[in-house]
Chain A
């Protein structure tokens, strides 16, 4: 899969627009979901993903072909989301993040999963951007904690403490 992706990237570098559209189709769904998960605004998510792909296209010569493409891509996406949020000065934290993480952990023994999911969705809205981003990267994009740390330029322990793990209580 990685070889196919690298071949695609080399084609883009050679000026193949169709290859770029293929790359977009590969990454668009999850990047839009990720950006939407962070901003909770579809129009903002679309703007962020647009800017991300434009930056990817223009800076592809800076991408190290020896490394996997996905973390490099998501680093640009997350930085773009952060920049966008900072520009819009969105600060809507109504609950302390630590309290929320405790709340998640207390809920993990709940047997009524549908109620639990709905509760969690409501609670996610209240998380700060960093913690919500960690959850999205882990559970939507299936990145490992080490990769998340690299993407967010955080210490891996900080990422670990942001994740909800069963057995903490």
Chain B
């Protein structure tokens, strides 16, 4: 037996020795899927039920208190809005439909609500605004990914758009789009992308990790302008970029 024949025989032998039941692949995937995708949702649901119960008690307490004052009346109105806890939304990403489970997030100070895809993102409240970030960090090799919601008072929308253009330029990006849009929200949209660069093979152009910054600036209402900034990278345009916009569709200013 020569070397090739010998290797072939060993391959055959190892293949036969490691033959497994064809059902094993499916059963194994079910176990993985349960642990990573199904069980966490179930756990969250249980938590939500508990939160819902506490919230109901708080609502009742406020209702009792609220009947006495005008402020109380306003708060009741707010809470009615605030306690739509969750909703499912069918979304389409790269031609595939999927159901996005979203959870209500509110900001009393900035007076807005938004539904967040809680399986993938978290909302972090900051001093100047809120930031929606991926729950699982992307790692050092990736550009930043987030959606920031902030509010400007007493400055016209046009002035804010000018400031954003300066900001995009300072960040080393080029403005490739500026238009008035109705989706995901009625606003002025500006999109800036990183300048062309060379990859490790020397190919010059836009790379998978070229940063993209997309802004939505609402019209001034009662002296208030909301600015939504989305940061992601080219390859994530159909992922994070699309998901940010689906979430932003639910954005509402609470009066």
Contacts and interface: CB of A to CB of B under 8 A. Distances in A.
Contact of B16 (A45, A65, A111, A121): A121
Given A13-B138, A65-B141, A139-B10, A46 B240 contact: no
B13 A117 contact: yes
Contact of B28 (A50, A62, A124): A50
Interface residues of A, number: 48
Contacts of B9: 113, 116-117, 120
A150 to B, nearest CB: 20
B19 interface: yes
Interface residues of B, number: 48
Contact of A120 (B10, B33, B208): B10
Identify the interface centre among A14, A57, A120: most chain B CB within 10 Å of its CB: A14
Nearest to B235: A10
Contact of A111 (B1, B137, B138, B208): B1
Interface of A: 7, 10-11, 13-18, 20-21, 24, 28-29, 32-34, 36-37, 42, 45-47, 49-50, 53-54, 57, 61-62, 65, 108-111, 113, 116-117, 120-121, 124, 135-136, 139-140, 164, 166-167
21 contacts: A10-B208, A10-B235, A13-B138, A17-B37, A21-B29, A28-B28, A28-B29, A29-B25, A37-B14, A37-B18, A45-B24, A54-B32, A54-B35, A57-B36, A108-B6, A116-B9, A116-B13, A120-B10, A121-B16, A139-B15, A166-B3
